[in-house]
Amino acid sequence: MQAFDHPFTGGRPDHYPSRSSLPAQFLPRRDPVIYAQNRASAPVPRVLLERYERDGFIVLESLFDAAEMAEFQREFTRLQQVPGDIPRETVITEKSGRDMRSVFAIHQSSPVFARLAADPRLVDLARFLLDDEVYIHQSRINYKPGFRGRDFYWHSDFETWHVEDGMPRMRAVSISITLTENRACNGPLMLIPGSHLKYVVCEGTTPEEHFRTSLKEQEVGVPCDRLLETLVAERDIQVASTSPGSAIVFDCNTMHGSFSNITPHPRANAFFVYNAVSNSVGAPFCERPPRPWYIRAVPPVTAGAAEHRTEEDH
Ligand code: 6CS
Ligand code: FE
C-alpha cells in the first residue's frame, strides 16, 4: 500500500493512516518487531525473543525483588498523598469523581521512578529490541483503585502515538511494572497475541484537546467491533495476571485493554514507553497540535533526531 498523503502533512508520508477518510480496515505492519540484528547479544533468552516476535508481548516474572518493590510502593503512596509534589496536570482522575486514574511523567516527578526508568533491566532490553538509543516517550502509573477503578477500552497505543503524537513508525516498546497483584479479577492487562502484526485503521476524527477525555475514557482511536472480533478469532485474548515486581513488555502496536476493578484489591502498574531516537516524534498525523509534555515527551536533541525533526516538522 502506498503511503497516505494527508493534505496537512506537507508531503510527509503517512504509512499508518487512521482517523482519516479511510474506512476501518487492517493495514499490514511495515516495520520489524525486533530490530536487533545479532540475537546472540539479547538480554533475555531466545525463547522469550521468539515469543515476543510471535505474540507482541512477554511477561518477565519477578524481575524486581521484594525490597525494590517495597521502595516503589512507598514512592507510589507518597505520590498520591502529596499532590503538591507533582504537577497537577499530570494527575488524571476517574470520569466519575476524585479517584486517581493515572499519574503521567513519573520519570520526571519522582527520583525513584526516574531510577526505575533508567534501570538496565529495562533500558538494555528496549535498546536491544529497537536496535537504537532510546528515550522515554511517556511514563505513567495507571492506578486502578479498588471498587471504582475504571476500564481502559481496547486500543493500540501506536495508533494514538502515531496520529496524535507524530510517532512515525512502529519502533517503540512499553514496559509495565506491576506494583500490586495483577489478578484475574482486579482488572489486569489483557492482550491479543499477534495483533501487533496488523495496523487497525480507526474511523472518526481526533477531537480538539482529545487527551482531556481520552485519558479518562477513550472513544476515538479504538478498533471497531468487526476488526476486534477478527483479531480475537485468529488468536484469543490472554490475561497478564502476575505478581508484583513483574514486567509486561509489549510492542507499541499490540492491541490491549483492561476491565474495571470492582474488587477491594487495587491494581497499580507503572508504564515506561521507550521510543527509538531514530523514531523521534514529529508533527502529529492529524490536524491538531502536539499533546502536552507530560503525555508526549519532547525527543532528545541529537544530530540525527534534529535533522529528522527538521524534515518532519516542515
Ligand atoms: O493516549 C495515550 O498515550 C494513553 N492512552 C492509553 C489508553 N494507553 C496509552 C497511553 O497511556
Ligand atoms: Fe495503552
pLDDT above 60: residue 314: no
How many A from CA of 155 to the centre of ligand 2? Answer: 6
SS3 readout for 100-145: EEEEECHHHHCHHHHHHHCCHHHHHHHHHHHCCCEEEEEEEEEEEC
Kindly report, residue by residue over 189-211, the tens digit of the pLDDT.
999 999 999 999 999 999 999 99
| CA-closest candidate to residue 150, choices 83, 207, 81, 100 | 100
Atom of ligand 1 nearest to the CA of 153: 7
Q: What is the pLDDT of residue 8?
A: 66
User: How many residues does the structure list for the chain?
Assistant: 314
Distance in angstroms between the alpha carbons of the first and the last residue of the chain: 24
Taking Cα atoms as reference points, which of 30, 29, 26, 56 lies closest to residue 237? Answer: 56
Which ligand is in closest contact with the Cα of 150? 1
Q: How confident is the model at residue 55 (pLDDT cuts 50, 70, 90)?
A: very high
Cα–Cα distance measured from residue 187 to residue 149, given in angstroms and rounded to the nearest whole number:
8
The three grid cell numbers given for residue 147, joined into one nine-digit string:
471498587
**Looking at ligand 1, which residue's alpha carbon is closest to its atom 5?**
215
Q: Are 183 and 173 in contact (CB under 8 A)?
A: no
pLDDT tens per residue across span 266-300? 999 999 999 999 999 999 999 999 999 999 999 99
Determine the pLDDT at residue 83.
62
Alpha carbons 305 and 133: distance in angstroms, whole number: 11
Listed residues: CB within 5 A of ion ligand 2: 157
Q: Which residues line ligand 1 (CB under 6 A)?
A: 138, 140, 152, 155, 157, 160, 214, 218, 295
- In angstroms, what is the span from residue 276 Cα to ligand 1's centroid? 18
Give the pLDDT mean for 259-272: 97
Mean pLDDT of 179-190: 97
